[in-house]
Structure 1
Amino acid sequence: MNTQLLIVLVLLCACIGLFIINKPRMDVVALCVIILLPLCGIMSVQEALLGFSDTNVVLIGALFIVGEGLSRTGISFRVGDWLLRRAGNSETRLVVLLIVAVVVLGSMISSTGIVAIFIPVVLSCASRMRVPPSRLMMTLSFAALISGMQTLVSTPPNMMVDSALRREGFEGLKFFSYTPIGLVVLVLGVGYMLVARHWLNGTDKAAGDDDGQPAGDGALVGSSQRRLQDFITDYQLEGRAHRARVKIHSPLVGLKLRELTLRQDYGANIVAVERRGRFSDELREPNSGLELRDGDVLLIDLFREGADIAALCRAMSLEPLAMPEGYFTDESRAIGMAEVLLPPDSGIIGKTVPEAALRRRYGLNVVGLRRGRKALGPVALDQPFHAGDTLLVIGSWKAIRRLQRRLEDFLVLTMPAESEVVAPALSRAPYALLSLAVMVGLMVTGIVPNVIAALLACLLMGVFRCVDLTSAYKSIHWPSLVLIAGMIPFALALERTGGVDIAVNGLVNALGDSGPRVLLGGLFFVTVATTLFISNTATAVLMAPVAVTLATRLEVSPLPFAITVALAASTAFSTPVASPVNMLVLGPGGYRFIDFVKVGLPFSIVVLLVCMLLVPLFFPM
C-alpha cells in the first residue's frame, strides 16, 4: 500500500466517521475533502474542483427547480388532495395509492421534496382514520426510495452511476433503464408494506401536539405557528360554515356578489365560491364583481344568531350540501385566513363590515373579531370597528398578501402554518405540466443531453411564470450539490491511488468463482452496507468506479454492475441516516432506530434477490 493510498483511506475513514455523527454537516466535510486532496498532493486544484463542472451536478440542481415549479403550481398538492378523496376511510387503499402516487411523482422530481409535501397529507389521513402516523410514515419513505429505482433522473445515485460510466468511455444509461426492475420492486413493495405496517403500531409518540396526540388536519411538521383549525376554534367559527349548490332556477343566478342582500336579509355571508374548472373544482376569490352561475357551490358563513341555512336554501333555491370535516384545511392551498390588527389611524375604524367594503376593495371577508384578548363572537360583526381590534379575514392567499402592503390601514399579525405550503401559481399548472412533458420527452428520445433538457424545462417554467428567480434559487438544495461535488474527486483519488483496485480484487478473490449473480449480490451487499453509515448519494459516488472496474477486470459489460450499485444505493431502508427521506419521517412517525432495521432489513433482502435474478436478464453480461 503506497503512501498516497494510505492518506486517501485515512481521509475516507475520517469522512465516514464525521458522516455518522453528522458533525460538521456533510457538505462541510465535502468541502474539507476538496481542500485536503490538493494539499496532500493527491491531485491538482483543478481536479479537486472537477465535481462542480460535472453535468449531473447541474442536472440535479435543475431538477430541484422543476420540482419547485410543480409545487408552486399546485400539481403536487392536487395529487395529495386526490389521494385523500380516493382513499376514503380505507387504510389499505390509502397505502396502495400513497405508494403509487409518490413513486410516479418521485420518478421525475426530487424524492425528498415529494416526502416533504406528503407529510402533512399523511398526517391528515392518519388523523381522520384514527390510526397512528407510524403506520403510514414509513410507507411514505419506502415509496420515495422505490421511486429512485424507476428512471434515470429520479435520484442522484442513478445519475452518479451514469456519470461514472461515461467518464470511463462507456455508453450511458437511458431514461427508462431502471424501470423494468423498479416496477417489480414497486409491486413487491406494495404487498410488503400492506403487511409490514402492522409491525409499527407500538412506536413512540408522533410529531404533533405537545400532549402526544397526532397533529390535526393540515398540521405542518415542525411548525410552531397556529393553524387554521386554531383560528376556527379561537373565533368560535364551528357550526357557522355551510355549503350549498346554486340550482338552475335560483334567483342568485346572474347576480354579482355586490348585488346580493343575503347579509342584511339572512345574516349570511358568501366567503368563497367553488366552480367547476377545466381540470377540477376550483375555489374562486369572492370579489364583489364575481357573477354567480347555476352549479356554483357557495361557502356560506351564518354569522347572525338565529340564522337558518334551511330557510336560506328554500328562499334562494339552493341545494344544501354536506360540510366535510376539515374542509378549510383540505382547501388550504386556495383559501386562507389571517389575523389583522387595526392601527389607530386605520381608515375603517368606526365602520361596520358592510361599510368597510373589504370584499369589494380587497377580495376578503371578515368572519371574526377580537377586542383585547377576547373573541367577541359573530354578533360583533354588526358593530363598528375600534382601534386595536383584531379581525379574522378569509379569502385567497393572494388577497391576504396584498393586504400586507396596506400598512396605513392594516397590520397583518398572524399567518397560519398552512400559508407556508400554499401554491402561489395555481393558474399556471397546465404550463408546468407542459414544461415537464417537454423535459421528459427530450430525455426519453435522447434528442439532446439530459442536462440540456432539464435546463430547458427550467427556462420554460420561468417564461410561463411557474417559478420566479427567487423561488428557483431557494429551491436548490445546495448542501446536496456540494456533497456530490466534493465526493466526485474522492472517487477519482481512490482510482488513481489503487483503492478501487484493492476493492475489486477483494470482491473477485472472495466471490469470483461463484458465478455472475453471486458477484452482483456481493456488490449489492457492500453498497447497501455502506449506506448504513453514509448517505446513499455519497455511497453511489464511491461504489460506481468499483463496479465499472470490476466489470472491466472480468471483461464483461459494465451495465449490470453499474445498475446493481444504483439499485443498491436506493435500497436505503434499514437506517434513518441512509437517506434524507428516512430522516424526514423519523420525527412525524415517532420512530426509533430499531424500527427502520425491523422493517427495512427484510425488504432490503427482497430487493437483493430481485437484483440477483433480474439484472442479468435485462442487462446481459
Structure 2
Amino acid sequence: MNSELIWVLALLAAAVVMFATGKIRMDAIALLVIVAFVLSGTLTVGEAFSGFSDPNVILIGALFIIGEGLVRTGVATRMGAWLIQMAGSSEIKMLVLLMLTVAGLGAFMSSTGVVAIFIPVVLSVSMRMKIPPSRLMMPLSFAGLISGMMTLVATPPNLVINSELVREGLQGFSFFSVTPIGLTVLALGIGYMLVMRFALKGQKNEEGKEQWKRRTFRELIKEYRLTGRARRLAIRPGSPLVGLRLDDLRLRESYGANVIGLERWRRFRKVIVNATGGTELRARDVLLIDMSASDVDLREFCGEHMLEPMVLRGEYFSDQAMDVGMAEVSMVPESALLGQTLRDIGFRSRYGLNIVGIKRSGEALEGTLIDESLQIGDILLVVGNWKQIRQLGLRNRDFVVLNLPVEEQDASPAHTQAPHAIFSLALMVALMLTDEVPNAIAAIIACLLMGKFRCIDAVSAWKSVHWPSIILIVGMMPFALALQKTGGVDLIVRGLLELGGGYGPHLMLVCLFVLCASIGLFISNTATAVLMAPIALAAAKSMGVSPYPFAMVVAMAASAAFMTPVSSPVNTLVLGPGNYRFSDFVKIGVPFTAIVMVVCVLLIPALFPF
C-alpha cells in the first residue's frame, strides 16, 4: 500500500466520519474533498472538477425541475386527493394504494419531494381514520426508497452506475431495466408492511399533537358564521346580466349581495375566476354570492335576472382549494386605511380579494360588512386567488397575513397546466426509451416545454434544484478516480475476491450488497454508488463475468437504505411526523433489507446473466 493510497483512504475515512456526525454540511464536505485532492497533488484541477462535466449531473438537476413542475401543476396533489377518495375508511387499502402511488410518482420525480407531499396527506388520513400516523409513515418512506428501483432516472445512484458503465465503454442500462426488480421489491414491501405495521407504535408525543393542527376552510366558515350565507347562481343565456361588469350591477347597493367568486367554463372544464369590479359576466357563468346582508327574496331575485340556483355543498370551498384561497389578515397599526370602510377603500378593486368576514374582540360581526369601519385589532377573512392573498402580505404595508388554512398546501399555482406537465413528462420518457437522444437532452427538452407551457417559471425552477445533492455528487466523483489512480480499487477488489470470489459470482453479489448497505449507513446512497461503481465493475472483470449484474446489485443496494432514519432524507422526513425512535427503523428496516438482498441475488442474475 503506497503513501498516496494511504492518504486517499484516510481522506475517505475522514469524509465518512464527517458525514456521520453531521456537524458539517454534506456539500461543504464534498468541496473540501476537491480542495484536498488538488492541494495534495493526488488529482489535477481538471480531474477534481470532472464531475461538473458529467451529463448525469445535468440530468439529475433537470429531474428536480420536472418534479417541481408536477408539484406546481397539482399532479402530485391530485394523486393524494384520489388516494383518500379511493381508500375510504380501510387502513389496508390506504396502505396498499399509498405505497403504489408513492412508488409510481417517485419513478419520475424526486422521492424526497414525493414523500414531503404525502406527509400531510398521511397525517390527515390518520386523523380521519383515528389510527397512529406511525402505522403509515414508515410504509410511506419505504415506498419512496423503493421508487428508486422503478426506473433508470428514479434516483441518482442508478444514473451514477449507468454513467460508470458508459465510461468503461459498455452499453448502459435501458429506461426500464430496473423495473422488474423494483416491482418485485414493491410487492414484497407492501406485504411486509401489512404484517409489520402493528409493530409501528412510535412514541407518545402529547405535546406535539397541535403542531400539525391547522384550521380548515370548514372551521373558518363556522368561526366567522358564514354557514348558509353563500349561494351559487348560474347565469342563463339571455340574462340581462350578460355583458355587464360587476361594478355596473351595483348588487351591493341594490340588493345587499356581494359576488365573492365566479365559475367559468374553459376548455371543457370549470375554473374559478377571481371576481373583481371589472369582471365581465358571460352566459353559463356561475356566481358565488354572499347574501348575508340581503333581505331580497331569492326566488324573485333569480327570476328577475334569469339566474338558476345551484347546489352549494358544505365542502365547496375545500373542493375548490386549488383555485379559491382563504386566509385571515390583520391591519398594521400604522395603516392609513384604519377608520375607513371597505367601500371607501375599494378593497375588491384594489386588491382583487373579497372580505367575507370580520372578527372584532374575538367575535364575528354580522350584517353588512361593506360599510363597517375598520379598527385596530380587527381580523379580516379574505377569499380569492392564492397568489393575491400571498401578495397582500408580502407587497402591501397595510396588511399582515396571519393564518393560512390547511388547504393552502393543496394550492398549485399552475394547476391549469397539469395536462401540459403530464405531456412533457410522457415525452421525456418516450425520448429516453427510443435512445435517439441522450437522457440529459430528453430531460432538458421536458424542462423547456414545462417553461413554455408555464408549468414552472425561472425562479421556481432554480429553487427546485437541490444544489447540496448536486455538489455532493460532483465532490464524491473524484474519490472514485483517486482510488483508481492510487490502486485502491484493485486493493478492495482483491479483498472481495479473497472473501467470496472462490465461491462463485452469487456470493460476490452478496458481498457487494452488504458492503454497499454498510457504507450507506454513514454516507448518502449517491456517494455510496459513486464509490462502489468502479469496484463492482473491476470485480466483474477480475472474475471474467458480465459487469451488468454487479453494477445492478450496487444500484439496488444503494436504494435499500431502510435500516436507519439517517440512511436517507426520505427516512429523516418521516421520523418526526411518525414519532419514531431510531430503533424502530432498525427493527423494521434490517429484516426488509435482508429480504431485498435475497431478491436481488436471485433475480438480478436471471435478468442479467453472468
TM-score (ref. length: structure 1)? 0.87
Post-superposition offset of 1:490: 0.7
Contact 2:235 2:282 in 1 (8 A): no
Does 1:323 pair with 2:314?
yes
Match of 1:42 in 2: 42
Shift of 1:58: 1.4
Question: 1:78-128 CA distances to partner (integer Å, 9 max, x unpaired)?
Answer: 222222222222222222222222122211111111122222222222222
Structure 1 residue 510: deviation in Å?
Answer: 1.8
CA gap of 1:231–1:129, structure 2 versus 1, over 3 A, is closer
* One-letter amino acid of the counterpart of residue 437, structure 2: V
Counterpart of 1:92, as a letter, is I
3-state SS of 2:109 partner: coil
Distance (whole Å) between structure 2 residues aligned to residue 278 and residue 470 of structure 1 = 28
Counterpart position of 1:5: 5
Residue 271 of structure 1: CA displacement? 3.2
Q: Does 1:386 align with 2:377?
A: no
* Structure 1 Cα separation of the partners of residues 164 and 552 of structure 2: 11
2:389 to 400, 404, 412: 400
Per-residue deviation at 1:468? Answer: 2.1
Residue 79 (structure 1) aligns with? 79
Aligned to 1:339: 329
Q: Secondary structure at the match of 1:379?
A: coil
CA 1:381 to 1:31, structure 2 compared with 1: closer, same or farther past 3 Å? same
How do 1:42-81 and structure 2 match up within 5 A?
42-81=42-81
Q: CA deviation at 1:593?
A: 0.7
5 Å-filtered alignment, 1:515-530, equals 515-530=504-519
Q: Which amino acid aligns with 2:482?
A: A
Aligned to 2:537: 548
Tell me, in whole angstroms, the C-alpha distance in 2 between the residues paired with 1:243 and 1:545. Answer: 67
CA, structure 1 residues 502+274, in 2 after alignment: closer, same or farther (shift >3 Å)? Answer: farther
Asked if 1:531 is matched to 2:520, the reply is: yes
Task: Give the Cα–Cα distance (whole angstroms) in 1 for the partners of residues 593 and 264 of structure 2.
Answer: 47
In 2: Cα distance, 1:393 partner to 1:318 partner: 24
Q: 1:525 to 1:329 in 2, by over 3 A?
A: farther
Distance in 2 of aligned mates of 1:103 and 1:319: 40
Would the aligned equivalents of 1:303 and 1:367 in 2 still touch at CA under 8 Å?
A: no
Cα distance in 2 for residues equivalent to 1:473 and 1:250: 49
Distance in 1 separating the partners of 2:54 and 2:394: 43
Give how far 1:278 is off: 5.2
Residue 436 in 1 paired to residue 433 in 2?
no
Bigger drift between 284-293 and 490-499 goes to 284-293
**May I ask how many residue pairs the two structures share in their alignment?**
604
Q: Which amino acid aligns with 2:419?
A: P
Indicate if the aligned counterparts of 1:313 and 1:319 stay in contact, CA closer than 8 A: no
Is contact 1:246-1:253 (8 Å) kept? no
Distance 1:245 1:8 in 2: 74
In structure 2, the partner of 1:223 is: none
Q: 1:194 to 1:240 in 2, by over 3 A?
A: farther
Counterparts of 1:143-154 in structure 2 under 5 Å?
A: 143-154=143-154
Aligned equivalents of 2:504, 2:346: Cα separation in 1: 80
CA offsets, 1:371-418, max 9 Å, x none? 4x544423362543235454321111133355468748x434436276
Distance change in 2, residues 1:598/1:344 (3 Å): closer
In structure 1, give the amino acid aligned to 2:515.
Answer: V
Deviation of residue 469 (structure 1)?
1.9
Q: Distance in 1 between matches of 2:119 and 2:202?
A: 20
Q: Which moved more, 1:185-194 or 1:449-458?
A: 185-194
Q: 3-state SS of the aligned residue for 1:513?
A: helix
Report which stretch shifted further, 57-66 or 335-344.
335-344
The 3-state SS of whatever aligns with 1:339 is: strand
Q: Tell me: CA distance 1:506–1:279, structure 2 relative to 1, closer, same or farther (3 Å).
A: farther
TM alignment of 1:248-263, pairs within 5 A: 258=246
Of 462, 476, 480, which residue of structure 2 is paired with 1:491? 480
Quick one: structure 1 residues 245 and 580, their matched pair in 2 at CA, closer, same or farther if it must change by over 3 Å?
farther
In the alignment, what sits opposite 1:224? none
Q: Is the 8 A contact 1:247 1:319 kept in 2?
A: no
Residue of structure 2 aligned with 1:285, choices 268, 274, 283: 274
Shift of 1:466: 2.2
Cα pair 2:34 2:478 within 8 Å, conserved? yes
Aligned partners of 1:242 and 1:323 also within 8 Å: no
- Deviation at residue 43 of structure 1 after TM alignment: 1.5
Given the superposition, is the C-alpha separation of residues 323 and 559 from structure 1 closer, same or farther in structure 2, using an over 3 Å criterion?
same
Answer whether contact 1:122 1:133 (CA < 8 A) is retained: yes
Question: 2:266 and 2:229 mapped to 1: Cα distance?
Answer: 23
Secondary structure in structure 1 of the residue aligned to 2:173? coil
- What one-letter code is carried by the residue in structure 2 that aligns with 1:323? G
Indicate conservation of the 8 Å contact 1:287/1:360, yes or no.
yes
Query: Which sections of structure 2, spanning at least 5 residues, go unmatched?
Result: none
Give, in whole Å, the separation in 2 of the partners of 1:171 and 1:65: 27
* Rounded Cα–Cα distance in structure 2 between residues aligned with 1:405 and 1:503: 56
1:36 is displaced (CA, Å) by 0.9
Range 25-34 or range 382-391, more displaced: 382-391
1:352 is displaced (CA, Å) by 4.8
Partner of 1:588: helix, strand, or coil?
coil
Q: How does 1:584-599 map to 2 (within 5 A)?
A: 584-599=573-588
Distance, in Å, in 2 between the alignment partners of 1:293 and 1:87 is 38
Shift of residue 5 of structure 1?
1.3
Deviation at 1:20, TM superposition (A): 1.0
Q: Are the aligned partners of 2:80 and 2:121 in contact in 1 as well (CA < 8 Å)? A: yes
Alignment of 1:76-475 (within 5 A): 76-205=76-205, 210-213=207-210, 215-216=212-213, 232=220, 236-237=224-225, 239=227, 258=246, 269-273=258-262, 282-287=271-276, 289=279, 291=281, 301=290, 303=292, 318-324=309-315, 327-328=317-318, 331=321, 334-341=324-331, 350-352=340-342, 358-359=347-348, 362-371=351-360, 373-379=361-367, 381=369, 383-386=371-374, 388=376, 389-401=378-390, 403=392, 407=396, 410-414=398-402, 416=404, 422-475=411-464
Residue 594 of structure 1 deviates from its aligned partner by 1.0
CA distance in 1, matches of 2:514, 2:457: 43
Q: How far apart are the structure 1 equivalents of 2:183 and 2:578?
A: 26
SS at match of 2:432: helix
Contact kept? 1:244, 1:321, Cα under 8 Å: yes
Please state whether the residue corresponding to 1:139 is helix, strand or coil.
helix
How big is the shift at 1:157? 0.5
Q: How far apart, in 2, do the equivalents of 1:211 and 1:313 lie?
A: 50
Say whether the 8 Å CA contact 1:439–1:457 is kept in structure 2: yes
Q: TM-score, normalised by structure 2?
A: 0.88
Deviations 1:50-83 (A, max 9, x none): 1122111111111111112222222222222222
Three-state SS of the structure 2 residue aligned to 1:423 is coil
Q: CA deviation at 1:129?
A: 1.9
Match of 1:148, SS state, is: helix
Q: Counterparts of 2:141 and 2:297 in 1: how far apart (Å)? A: 47
Return the match for 2:492 from 503, 523, 527: 503
- Distance, in Å, in 2 between the alignment partners of 1:283 and 1:268 is 19
2:555 counterpart residue number: 566
Q: CA RMSD in A?
A: 3.5
Q: Cα 1:546–1:108, aligned 2, differ >3 Å: closer, same or farther?
A: same
Query: Which is worse superposed, 389-398 or 413-422?
Result: 413-422
8 Å contact kept, 1:340–1:391: yes
Change (3 A) 1:616 1:312: farther
Judge conservation of contact 2:262–2:285 (CA < 8 Å) in 1: no
Deviates more, 1:542-551 or 1:431-440: 431-440
Q: Which moved more, 1:240-249 or 1:576-585?
A: 240-249
Match of 1:222 in 2: none
Contact 2:293 2:368 in 1 (8 A): no
- Shift of the 106–403 alpha-carbon distance from structure 1 to 2, 3 Å rule, reads same
Q: Which moved more, 1:90-99 or 1:327-336?
A: 327-336
Structure-2 separation of matches of 1:334 and 1:128: 24
